[in-house]
Every structure is written in C-alpha cells, then in structure tokens.
Structure 1
Amino acid sequence: MNFLSGSIPLGIGMLSKLQYLNLSTNGLSSSIPPQLGDLSNLADFDLSFNNLSGSLPAELRGLRKLQRMLIGNNLLGGSLPVNLFPVPSQLQTVVLKHNGFNGSVPSVLWSIPQLRLLDISGNNFTGMLPNGSLNANASAAELNVSQNLFYGGLTPTLGRFLVVDLSGNYFEGPIPDYVRDNASLVSNCLQNLSNQRSLLDCTSFYTAKGLTFDNFGLPNSTQPPAGGSIGKNNKKVIILASAFGALGTHSTLGDIAATPVPSGSSPPPPGVSIDLSSLGDAFTYQQLLLATGDFRDVNLIKHGHSGDLYKGFLESGIPVVIKKIDLQSHSKEAYLLELDVFSKVSHSRLVPLLGHYLEKENEKFLIYKHMPNGDLSSSLFRKTDSEDSLKSLDWITRLKIAIGTAESLSYLHHECTPPIVHRDVQASSILLDDKFEVRLGSLSEVCIQEGDIHQSRISRLLRLPQSLEQGSSGSLTTSCAYDVYCFGKVLLELVTGKLGISASSDAQLKEFLEQILPYISIYDKELVIKIMDPSLIIDEDLLEEVWAMAIVARSCLNPKPSRRPLMRYILKALENPLKVVREEHSGSARLRTTSSRSWNASVFGSWRHSSSDVAVIPATSSARPEGGSSFKQSGASNSMGSGGQNGSGGQNGSGGHSSSHRRHSGEIFPEPFDEQDVERQN
C-alpha cells in the first residue's frame, strides 16, 4: 500500500516477463488499460481497493497464465465480456466483489477446473445458475454470489462448492439435498425458510422478469411464509409526531400524525414523524460498502461524537461523507433528532444531506455531501510542500467564514419557530466547500431553546437532566445565548490564529481569555495587533476589520447570557465591520440608520455603560500575551512592542492603573444592554 493516485501507467503492459502485479489499496482511478492484457506471463493480478471505473477490457483474455484475479472493491461496472476468461484457464481465485457489474456471468467461469474461490458478491449480476454437476470433484471451492440479482431454482452446480453464500438474491423453490447445511440463504424467495423476502418483493421481481413466482410453494397463498420479513416496499408505518413536529421556517409544532413510507425509501424509526422524501435518496448497504471499500480504515475521517465519519465515492464518482452510527455506543436519540431536523429545516448554510440507510437494527447511516476543504479546524492552517511551514487562510476568507457561520446560526435562532440551539458551535462543526463557503454540520446535538413552551417535550427526547447543563459560558446549553458564546470563541480563533480555542476546556478557555481580552478595546485599535495572528498580511482597512471582529467576539463572550448580542445583530456587525469601528467614533447619530443603531447598540452597549472597559496591561508582560496557554499557533511569535501601556481609561476618570492591579470580571467582560434595552431602540 503506497497511496498511489492517478491512472495505471500504460507502459506496464510492456513488461512482458512480469509475473506479479499488486497495485491494491491505493487511490488509483480511471479505467483498467487494455494494454495489461499483453502481460502473457502474469500469474497474480491484484487491483483491489482502488477507485477504478469503467468496464473490464476484453483484452484481459490474454492473461493465459493468470492464477489469481483480484479486482474487488472498485467502481467498475458494465457486463463482463463473454470471452473474458480464456479456455483452458489456470485461474484458482477470482474476486470481483463490491463493484457495479451487471448482466450474466460468463458460463466458462462456473466450469474452470482449478477454481477454488469465486467471489462476485455485491454487484448487480443476474440470471440463473447453470444446470448440471460441473467438475463435482472440486469440493474444496468457495462460492459467494451474495447481494446480486440471481433468481430461479438451486442447481447441482452448487454441489462442487464446500462453502456457499447465496444471500440477498431472488432464488426460489425448495432446498435440494446437495446444498450444504452451512450455506447462507437469507433474503431470498426460498421455500420453508425463515428470514426470506416478502411475498410482494418476490412477486414484483419475478413479474418484472416476465416470470411467475411460486408463492413459496403454497398455491393461492397471499401471505409470506412464517418468519418471512416484511419488505421495505410493502411497509406502511404509523409514526408519532416528533419533538420538533412541523418545525420549519416560522412553523409550529404538529400533533400526532400518521405518515406512510414513500416507495423506495428506508423505513424511519418508530416514534418520529419524518418526511423521508426530504431526506435525499434511500441507499443500499451494498452501495455504502462499495463507496467506502467495506469501511476500511484508510477512508476513516474521524471518530465523531455521534458516529464515525468515512469518505467515499458513489458509483457516479461523486465524493460523499458517510456517518456510521453504532447504536450500541452512540445515542439513538441523537440520530433521530438529526433526521428530524433535516426533514424540517432547509438552508444553504447547512451541510447537505444526500441520503440514508436505516434498515440495520444496530447501525444507521447518513450520507452527506463531501466538503472539499474539510472543516475550519483543519483549514485555518495547512501544510505546504515544505514540511516545516504552514499556509494560513487570508483575512478576507476568514471574514467570509465568520459571516457564513453567523448566517447559519441566525437562521436557526431567528427564522425557525421555535428557535433552534445548535449546541456544538466550534471550528470542527464549520464545514467548507470548494469556495470556502460555510456549511454548518454537527446537527445531532440541536434542541429547542430553553424556556420555549415546547421545551419539556424536547427534554424528554434528549433526556436532559432537570438541572440543565451549564458550561464555561455561564448559560444553559439549551439557550441561543450559549451558541453566541461558542461563536465568540470561534471568532477569537479566526483573529488570533490559535487553534483549539473553540473546542477548549473551561480551564484552558479561562486562561486564554485572561491573556487575550485585555487587548480588545473599542478605544485603541493598535492593541489588537498584539494578539492578531502574525501570519496575516493586512493593510489599514483590513486591520480595522480584524479589530471589529475582535470587538464582536468580546461582546459574545459576556458572562451574562442576557447581555450578549443576538445572532442577527452579530451578523449585521460582521457584514459591516468598518461601520462597527468607524461609526462608533463618528460622534454623529445622523450617520447611522435605524437598523445600524440596533445592532451597534447590541455590540457596543457594554462600553457605553461600563466604567472600566480596558483592562490593565502589566508593565512586565510582553506585547504578545504569553503564558501557559495550550493552544497552538502558526508562525513565529514576534514581539511587536512592549510595556507598561495602560488602557485608555479616560471615561472613568481614573487615569492610569497600577500594573499589579487585579482585573475585575467587568473589566475583562464588558456588559452590554439587556436584550430588552436593545430591542427598545429599534
């Protein structure tokens, strides 16, 4: 495994003496070149676990000495050429599993004398098994044709195989004596067996083929056999209203409702009213295995708090992210809630859900659109060709990300009724597409704002304790003010370039804020330079934007939840950063519109009504805050001045402060108007 990418070089076909070719478990794409058929001495051919597409070239027939053909777990498709396998053949192992092959299997493949393993599972092969006992002496062989579209009766051909897996097809009829007891036969249409497909499923399949189904050997029967499963296309599920009911843009909670399952969709879990038609496509488990290479570790992105995230490719080549949710180790309520949210809210700033697979009892799968630039935690700084250097996002992109995140939260807080609290606002939840546009993810923790009349129903769904959670923000984690506080941490991460602020513990955050907040003042722009990410290259106007974002961040971090600005005001401030710092000092109210006064008051109320805005900078401190902070920062930490500079404390008439003076909380956290005061200014 070398993590090779690109296409297979055509020149390999010129290595006429090559006997062993193993390119497995890489990222090879494009099609299999026909020139490989010129390798007449090749005995072992392994291209498994790549992203190869197209069909198998008929030229591979030239591999007459081939003993092992391993091409499983790719994106290959089409039908197999009739003359693909030479006669006579030395093949002992053929593995074509987990691709997209269709059509019938060449008859010669069933009759190769030396064949010991034939695995064509996880494709779309169809047709009937060949008749006759072919090479019955080859009893040590293994056959796996599971998860295909084979049909008809079981034939003596199976007698030559020691291990047989026929599951997930449409075989019908009785079980012959020559089928071994250890054969896997689930999810077929066979007689006198449990765990078979439903009558409707089997009948529909055979009718589409122009054939008549045998009704499980029970003439005139209208019911499936005992133990038969109910097919997904035959279900009508009564679903109770969910915690969010009819939640949406300016919508209200609904009452108990009955919702039929749309045709072709996976059944939703009981107890939740979910419009599956709004949740994208219903995928099959086979498609997910194909997309992720059997969920192999190389495709694991991370272990998330609500499930494991894998990168994959659909058969069309579209990249996706698949969340695998193990209900034995993750909360069932979390995935139910996420489904419910996606079924009832829609906004361009939320990560797109492409589909789902919900049919496994202990595992559920959600499929999202892949975001090429990952999340903010991994994109703020990226490695360059030089191992020792990092490339950081420029300021314009950072401001764009801040605005996009504020738009998503403003939608949840102000355009959804009742308001929705995200509860997991941090850099790793902020996903970025190819143009660095924000798509907010991590929606498995959302809830309705505490204090809403519907909160008790949400509490039951999320099993929140009676004494609701309270974090470093000082606010309930079920309030919009909690999101605002967490967003303030994200803003500081963008300003300072210190990685990990938004995901920090209470102790780490307290230490960091004590170092940083004294350098954020509406009266002194130059102070922010001392905490600004040194990798940023900015002019005077952009410096004012950095200053404005830092001011907004500080307002968001007020320890009193009721005095934090509303998200819609934060959005306006970030969209108009120069107004934040210039209009505040213009001295003329005529320069401001009514709406501008509203959000400006929300952000700046603290400095108008606080007697001590700027905290003391101790004379012994370096210009850039240092100390035992555990946050990472890119680039060199160059000193940009030092010293016993006191804050502009003119408004309180105190002049200077002693460098040993201990800052009060009011000096670190300004106190804006109460929200009611802000609203009265509209």
Structure 2
Amino acid sequence: MSMHTITNVILLPLLFFLRFGTTLQSDPLSIRAEKAALFTLRSSLGLRTKEWPIKSDPCSTWVGIQCENGSVIGINISGFKRTTIGNQNPAFAVDSLVGFTNLVSFNASRFLLIGSIPDWLGVRVKTLKFLDLRFCGISGGIPGSIGNLTGLIELYLSGNVLTGGIPDSLGMLLSLSVLDLSRNVLTGLIPLSFGNLVNLHCLNLSSNGLSSNVPAQIGKLDSLVVLDLSFNAFSGLLPKELGSLRSLRRIVIRDNNFSGELPDAIWSLPGLSFLDVSDNNFVGSLPNKSLNGNVTKSVFNLSHNMFYGVLTCVLRRVSFIDLSYNYFQGNIPDYVHDAAFLDGNCFRNWPSQRGLKECAAFYSMKGLLFDTFGLTDGSLSSVLHDHKSKRRVLVFAAVFGSLGLILFLVISVILLILFRYKNRKTTQAGNDEGPLTTERESVNLMGLGELFTYEKIVSATNDFNDANFIKNGHSGDIFKGVLEGGTHIIVKRVDVHSGKIISALELDLYSKISHPRLIPLLGHCLENEKEKFLIYKYMPKGDLSSSLYTKNCSDDDTLKSLDWITRLKIAIGAAEGLSYLHHECSPPVVHRDIEASSILLDDKYEVRLGSLSEACTHEGDNYSNRITRLLRSPQTSEQSASGVITGMCSYDVYCFGKVLLELVTGRIGISASRDLITKDILEGILPYISLEDKDLMTNIMDPSLVVDEDLLEEVWAMAVIAKSCLDPKPSKRPLMRFILKALENLSKVVREDSTSSEKLPVKSSKSSWGGSSSSSCNSLPYQTAGSQLPGNVDGCLSTR
C-alpha cells in the first residue's frame, strides 16, 4: 500500500473525527432559519437542556453542534438522553433537518428513532456527506431516494430492523467510502449497481437474510479494504474477480452456503491480513506458492469446510490459522505452533481427529490418494470395501424402510379417516347445548360461561363491521364488540367450512381451570352450522406487540414506550401463566404460540395469556407419544427456529426468551419472527449478553428506557435469563418455574456476591443462566466459540 493511500485511510478519518466528533469553538450561529430549525429539532427529539441549553448560542455551547461561517455543518446526538417527556415520544421526528442548507454530517447512532427513514431525506438534505443511524430502532425499508445523496461518503444503517431488499439506487453514491447495512433483516440480492462504487473502502452486509450468488461486479471495487458478507444465505462459487482487489485486507464470508474452491488469486492478495471463510462448503487444498509479504501478520479461519490435502508452507507465515473440521491429512510439520487449530481432520498422531474409515471414504469419493496411516493395500481396501458395503446396506435399508413406512402411513390415514367420520356422525347426532365434538374429543360445555345467541353476537359486533375487526387469528377472525349493557367483549369467529376448528383442549382447559393469567372465557355461541363463536373478556391495553410503543395523544407522529417497571411486570405475569400451564396442570400444557401478540394486557397492564387454540399436552418420550407425532398433521408438527418440536414445554421457554429480548431491546417483532430471520436477529443480539460484562448491554438495550444503575442491572439480568431460554439445546433451557423465580429476584441472577445457597436453581447442575455458550458470550459474529480470532472486531469503523 502506498504512502499516499495510508495517509488517506488513516490520517483523513482522524482529522474528520477531530472536526465533527468534538465540540469546537466557532463563529456564532448567524442564520436565523437554521437557529429556528435547531430549536425545532431539540423539541421534536426531546433533547435535554444539559446538552442543548436554550439561552446560549448553539455553535458555541451546544454539544455535538459544529458550525462554519455562522452555519450548521454537523449535528451529533449520538448517546444523548431524552427528557422525561421526550422519552415518551421516541419517534423519527427530524423534519427540521431540511432547514440546514449546509449540513454535512448527521450522527444519531444509538438514539431511538422509531419509524422508517423518511423518503424526503434523500431529496431535501442533499448536502449530507456523513449519515450515521446505527442502532436507532429504525424499521421499514431503505428508501430509494437515499441514492440522491450523491455527495455521501459514509452511510451507517446497521443494528436496526430494516426489511426488504437493498435498493439499486445505492449504486449511484459514487463518492461512498463506507457502506454498513449489517445486523438488519434485509433480503434479496446484492444489487449489480454496487459495481459502480469504485471509491468504496468498506462494505459490510453481515447478519441479514441476503441470498443467491455474490455478483462478479464486486470485483470492480478497486478501493475496497474490508468486505464482510458473513451470516447470510449466499451460495454458489465465490467470484474469482475478488482476487483482483489489490487493496483488500479483510474478507469475512463465514456462515453462508458458498461452495467450490477459493479463487487462487485471493491467497496472493498483497494486503490480506484477515480471512474468515468458516462454516461454508468450500473444498480444495492449501496453496503451495509463497504468499504476500504481509501474511506473517495474517489471521486465517478455514474451519468447518471440506478442505483436504497436506499442510503447506502457508503455516510458516501466518500468525493464526484455524483448520479444524476439514479433511487435511498426513503429518503435522514441526513448524506448526500453538496458533493453529487442527481438530476434526485426518492427521496422524494428533488428538481429536476423524475416524480412519470416514477419512478414507472422503478421499475415495473425491478420487484422491489418502495417507494410509501405515495400512497395507489389503487393509485399506478392506476399509473402503467395508464402507461401500455399508452404503449398500444403507441403500437397501432405506428402500425397504420407506416401503414399510408408506404402508404404515396408509393404514394410519385409513384409520384416521374412519375415526373422523365417526366423530362427524356423533357431532351431527348431538344438539347445540350438549357436548361439542371437536378435532379429537368431546368436551362438556357446562361451566364454559354464558350461552350467547347468534343475534346477540351480530348485534355486539355491528354485524362484524370492519371497524370492529382486530386481526386474523390462527383458528379464526378476532372482533371486538359491545353488549347491550355496555360490557366490552372479544369475539373469535371460526368458519367451520374453512377447515379451522375450535380446539378441544382450549375448551377443555376452560372447563377445568380458571387461572387469573389466562384470558377469561365469557361464553360461546355454537348454534350456527357454518360458524362457531367464542367470547372472551375485552383487554383495554390490547397485546404487548401494540403496547410496547403507543402513539402519543398529543401528537399522532410520535410514540411513547413502556417504562422498565411495567415491562418487568409484564414479563413476570407471562411467566406466571406459563409456569401454571407447565407445572400445575396435569398433564402439563404447552401453549405453543407465545409471542408478544398473545400476551394480552388489561387496563392495569396485568397479563392474560391468549391464543390458546394452539395449546396441546406436553409430549414426553414414551412410545405412544412418538406414534402421535407421526400421525398428526403438518400444522401441528411445527418446529421452532431451533428445531425443537413445539409440543414440548421447552419450546414455550424458547419463545418466551424471544419475548424477553423484545422487552429488553425494544425491537418489535423478535418474538413473532421465524426461521432464518430469528437466527439473524439472535446472532446480532446474543453476543452482547454476558454474565461477565454488564456494559455490553448498552449496545442492545432499548434506547428509550430511562434507568439508573440499579435498574440497568435488572435489564442486564433479564437479558441473561433470555439468553438461557434461547439455548439451542432444549435440555439445557431452564424450567418455567425457575424462570419465574429468577424474574422475581433479578439481582440474584447477576450479582457475584450471592452465596451458593442463594443462587437460583436450574434444570441441571451443568446449566446456568449464562447458558451453555457462556464461554463465548463475548464472541462476535466473526468468531467461533472454540477459537477466539484476534483482529479488529468491527468490520466498518466510523471515522467520527
């Protein structure tokens, strides 16, 4: 790298930091319109007098304001705290930015801006060169109008809940040096227009849901120094054009679905100092040729792929290399030092290696020579013959097993059809006031509240007027209504002919229990042949998903958030309801639909669990329950994001962990997310939850929460509990009764001075509130749990 390039990369950002990152003395603000715009911004964001005092000149004394020639050129509110009133309205209220005609920099990182980026930002504030909106709680898509900010040099949008695709218009930002869109929920492809960003130094798209191939156009970015595409769903071959990026120093593409060989040119990049391609499907061998002169300081992570062959002189030059869980073979050279991880390969005389048969089979499949470990040709042939014989046995077993399974399923389906036919006849023979035959059993309706007439339901909901419609539930449409006496109710309408049913277990639950944490069932209306109705008590505060942030009565464009005490109250209430279902019902009941929308709130924010139509009895490990799993329909055999059967109590614990994260981070939608989106969200949050370091919490905590040191400790403790609930192994998740006790005694979860007798119980002696991954709580997305990779952990660092 030339001295001129080093000066641009290191000294210029430093100068800019000194210019915009601190408050410097400058000329007084002389433009009246800009002064008015600053005061409007102060009011709309609820900023404190401490930072922006009213009776002083903004250019001289306001923190984060930089002026030049009497005009505002920089605004930095990163890390600011709102006033008490402003904290109730954490909206994206920055309309007054249009009043600054010379604004170059706007930094609002870690300042809550609930809502989406306004389209006008790219149309009316065209002077911007630096825009930093990291960890602001922004939702919605990236507006295409951002492409109009043609002078933009740095754009940071990471750590939000941005959805949709990346707009092609970003390829118009020809001056862009840094583009950080990491830790969002973006999907789709990398736009081909990115090939136009020839001045780009850092591209970070990690921890999203992006997919398909990486376009070859990325190879046109001659100035690129950092490329991070990790934790996405990219596939196919890595474009060989990356090898032409002579400035590239850091490549992180771990945890994708890449295949094929690494392009040879990548190994020879002159400035390459960090390469992480772990957890993909790469194949090939290490290069034999000498690498660049800087490689002695390099860090390579090739683990969890399918690389093979012998070790080469590459290991003489690097400072750290992780080759674990590949298929390397042969001897370990004498020059291999402690900074090399080699587990899970096919080496001689090295611990924790793959079995001989597995290694021989892999090399045989590839048509390659395999180091025989001293075996004779006959012995090795025996090994391979044994492997091939086992494959034939497995093929035959699979064929006959499949035929047997098909026969078993055919018989089961016939029996199931006969069973349902018999149940339908029983239903038709009954009457509306007698037992109700549902999907699996008959339930006595005695004690299930009032018997409502169809006319009464129609009148209460104004003939199911759209104005009374709330949402589409799993088992039916939900409406609100008012009875003649003024009592507010909730009506679930189930269309029988649509295939939806009234859950037998839900009605059975209400016929046997009456717990204060379950939404009260007021009655039913079953007289209509086409539609059935269940009537519940009305919850004035709605559900948690709609109450975490609510519109301010005085301003429709702003929001207020729940305070910490109320959030903790809601968490404890939900835990009480689940603990009752799991530990006081016999057999235990699994809710199966725990998320923010099923946690209902009365006028005092007391919790009532709703959405019980998905509930089922807990599935143990006995034989009959395994047969039941085979027979049930796909709709009832759903798995969680971690692969857990939802009929287990541990699934409720997993879902509850996501609810706790939603309360801690303020990120709406975590508990309702599924599959890949859940994985991406958790990978962006969980590394910041550690029993050893409370300060990491500030990276993910809801910025709208106003808490002192003691309450911050409670937020930290709840996050630790949430992480233990989200353990990938169901057996290591705590039981709900222990979670409830922990929430009621948050200080004992994280304080080191708690004695052993005071510590909260967990499911097994090997578990802890830190979870099984506590040793890697501080691991970042680039690192593996087993090997902490050195190097800069932030892919794109702000220069301000």
TM-score (norm 1): 0.50
More helix as a share of residues: 2
Q: TM-score w.r.t. structure 2 length?
A: 0.43
Q: Which has the larger radius of gyration?
A: 1
Asked which structure has the greater RCO (Cα within 8 Å, sep 6+), the reply is 2
